[in-house]
């Protein structure tokens, strides 16, 4: 079990033993866990020792042991940025296939096995989708990286891999990673999805779009870190939502307008239009051009027929400059209405919610103002996840404790509501 400290620990401590048993027994799915941010402290210390034995000239920062030991002893981080130097060290520590396999095995056991000190106890979760960005190092290629991680994952029947695409990658790197994910899946390996991650302010996401579409067409689920910071723009969120991802990571700063434009959360009458009425479907560049032409011919025939039989038809003709213009307008409107209906009536991508991560990264100021409240109110699927158990010093059970604990320590949900959220996460698993 990971070390749990801070708000999540307080929430956990506030619960009765019955509540804790309820959370432990609840079947849970962890869908948003980064491999390198979830390595148990004891395993990191083991890797530091092994690294020092094999490298006479250590490339690790001199204070790395102190930093790791601080995490273990629960020394509070002044700021989450205190943790970032550790990521460089973790990458150095997992740069060989052996070390990567050790780290992956430890993360899988940490999530999916009972704690070593309590063999009859409950694991953190019953299903895990672990995500990682394939790295090439001087000791391994990206392919070797992925097959090493997969070989460990496949030792568990209830674990799967999501391949992360970092926003800082070049297009050729993106192509290599997506093609590897597709190829390995095609070979029957347990790759279930693609994720867009990394520095939220970097990268030209439009260049990535065709590659995510290719992955989707090959059967991979798609999840995107979206609107993670307040510097992510509305136009970027709209562009990413137009990829129709299956799940969204964080979605902290999605504006109400964007939510009402895309999600089936608000009664239709209150909704903002899904697309602008001025969208030019008649342009041959528009993806719905063929449908426009069909709709246009139908409208043209209808107006021509009507104009010969009744006054309304003749009025329709005279209100437009000509029959053609009227038919174009009518076709445009019909398509617009249909597109709006389709986009809003069905689309409810599951939101991966990481409460402690958001609070510690200060993208959310309190549980009271957390965006999960919007999704709960609108019966929109969410999955409670940890993001990175190591720096955020949390566990999946502790994140669920934040749901169940009374306010202000938690969200004060009932057991039935918490059970429902757990089921939502199970339902949002990607297909193997």
Task: With contacts defined by CB under 5 A, name the span among 65-73, 92-100, 206-214, 382-390 that binds Zn ion.
Answer: 382-390
Task: With contacts defined by CB under 5 A, name the span among 106-114, 122-130, 311-319, 379-387 that binds Zn ion.
Answer: 379-387
State which of positions 78-117 bind Zn ion (CB under 5 A): none
Closest C-alpha among 221, 220, 217, 255 to residue 236: 255
Least distance from Zn ion to the Cβ atom of residue 385, Å: 8
Task: Say how many residues touch Zn ion, by CB under 5 A.
Answer: 1
Q: Which is nearer to Zn ion, 176 or 387 (CB)?
A: 387
Least distance from Zn ion to the Cβ atom of residue 169, Å: 16
Tell me how long the chain is: 432
Put the strands of the sheet holding 127-132 in their side by side order.
29-34, 127-132, 159-166, 191-197, 221-226, 247-250, 350-353, 382-384
Q: Which is nearer to Zn ion, 48 or 90 (CB)?
A: 90
Least distance from Zn ion to the Cβ atom of residue 227, Å: 13
Alpha helices in 250-393 (DSSP H): 256-262, 289-309, 311-319, 323-346, 355-360, 372-377, 389-392
Q: Which is nearer to Zn ion, 107 or 331 (CB)?
A: 107
Least distance from Zn ion to the Cβ atom of residue 395, Å: 16
Q: Which is nearer to Zn ion, 184 or 385 (CB)?
A: 385
Task: With contacts defined by CB under 5 A, name the span among 132-140, 205-213, 337-345, 385-393 that binds Zn ion.
Answer: 385-393
Residue 121 sits at the vertex; the CA angle it makes with 117 and 122, to the nearest 5 degrees, is 125
Q: Which is nearer to Zn ion, 215 or 391 (CB)?
A: 391
Three-class SS state of 196: strand
Take residue 349 and report the two structure tokens written for it. Answer: 């991508």
Q: Which is nearer to Zn ion, 44 or 226 (CB)?
A: 226
Least distance from Zn ion to the Cβ atom of residue 313, Å: 58
Q: Which is nearer to Zn ion, 295 or 387 (CB)?
A: 387
Least distance from Zn ion to the Cβ atom of residue 167, Å: 12
Q: Which is nearer to Zn ion, 30 or 387 (CB)?
A: 387
Q: Which is nearer to Zn ion, 129 or 387 (CB)?
A: 387
Residue 196 near residue 225 (C-beta atoms within 8 A): yes
For 193, list phi and psi in degrees, rounded to 5. -160, 170
Q: Which is nearer to Zn ion, 327 or 382 (CB)?
A: 382
- With CB atoms as reference, the residue minimizing the distance to Zn ion is 387
Least distance from Zn ion to the Cβ atom of residue 396, Å: 14
Task: With contacts defined by CB under 5 A, name the span among 227-235, 271-279, 326-334, 384-392 that binds Zn ion.
Answer: 384-392
Question: Which DSSP state fits 93?
Answer: H
Contact residues for 386 (Cβ-Cβ < 8 A; gap 6+): 30, 32, 33, 38, 354, 356, 357, 392, 394, 395, 396, 399
Least distance from Zn ion to the Cβ atom of residue 387, Å: 5
For 128, list phi and psi in degrees, rounded to 5. -135, 130
- Taking 3-state DSSP, the helix, strand and coil percentages for the chain, each rounded to the nearest 5, stand at 55, 10, 35
Task: With contacts defined by CB under 5 A, name the span among 108-116, 227-235, 362-370, 380-388 that binds Zn ion.
Answer: 380-388
Least distance from Zn ion to the Cβ atom of residue 178, Å: 19
Alpha carbon distance 246, 351 (integer Å)? 9
Alpha carbon distance 381, 370 (integer Å)? 15
Least distance from Zn ion to the Cβ atom of residue 288, Å: 34
Classify burial at 276, counting beta carbons within 10 Å of its beta carbon; exposed 0-12, middle 13-18, buried 19 or more: exposed
List of residues contacting Zn ion (CB under 5 A): 387
């Amino acid at each position: 079990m990971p070390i749990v400290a801070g708000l999540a620990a307080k929430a956990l401590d506030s619960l009765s033993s019955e509540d804790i048993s309820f959370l432990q027994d609840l079947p849970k799915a962890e869908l948003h866990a980064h491999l390198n941010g979830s390595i148990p402290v004891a395993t990191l210390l083991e890797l530091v020792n092994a690294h020092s034995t094999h490298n006479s000239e250590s490339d690790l920062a001199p204070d790395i042991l102190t930093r790791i030991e601080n995490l273990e002893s629960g020394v509070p981080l002044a700021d989450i940025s205190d943790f970032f130097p550790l990521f460089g060290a973790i990458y150095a520590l997992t740069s060989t296939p052996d070390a990567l396999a050790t780290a992956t095995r430890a993360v899988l056991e940490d999530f999916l096995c009972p704690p070593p000190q309590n063999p009859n106890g409950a694991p953190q979760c019953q299903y895990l989708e672990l995500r990682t960005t394939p790295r090439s190092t001087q000791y391994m290629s990206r392919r070797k990286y992925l097959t090493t991680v997969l070989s460990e994952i496949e030792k568990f029947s209830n674990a799967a891999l999501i391949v992360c695409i970092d926003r800082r990658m070049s297009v050729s790197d993106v192509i290599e990673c997506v093609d590897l994910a597709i190829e390995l899946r095609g070979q029957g390996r347990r790759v279930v999805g693609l994720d867009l991650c990394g520095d939220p302010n970097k990268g030209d996401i439009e260049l990535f779009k065709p590659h995510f579409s290719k992955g989707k067409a090959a059967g991979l689920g798609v999840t995107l870190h979206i609107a993670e910071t307040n510097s992510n723009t509305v136009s970027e969120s709209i562009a990413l939502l137009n990829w129709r991802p299956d799940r969204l990571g964080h979605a902290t700063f999605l504006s109400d307008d964007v939510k009402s434009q895309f999600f089936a959360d608000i009664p239709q009458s209150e909704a903002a239009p899904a697309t602008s009425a001025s969208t030019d479907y008649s342009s041959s560049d528009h993806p719905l051009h063929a449908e426009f032409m069909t709709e246009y011919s139908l409208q043209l025939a209808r107006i021509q027929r009507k104009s010969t039989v009744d006054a309304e038809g003749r009025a329709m003709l005279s209100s437009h400059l000509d029959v053609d213009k009227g038919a174009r307008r009518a076709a445009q409107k019909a398509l617009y209405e249909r597109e709006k209906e389709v986009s809003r009536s069905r689309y409810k991508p599951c939101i991966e919610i990481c409460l402690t991560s958001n609070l510690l990264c200060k993208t959310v100021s309190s549980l009271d103002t957390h965006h999960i409240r919007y999704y709960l109110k609108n019966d929109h699927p969410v999955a409670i996840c940890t993001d990175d158990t190591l720096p955020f010093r949390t566990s999946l059970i502790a994140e669920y404790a934040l749901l169940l604990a009374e306010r202000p320590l938690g969200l004060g949900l009932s057991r039935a509501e918490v059970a429902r959220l757990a089921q939502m996460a199970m339902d949002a698993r990607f297909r193997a």
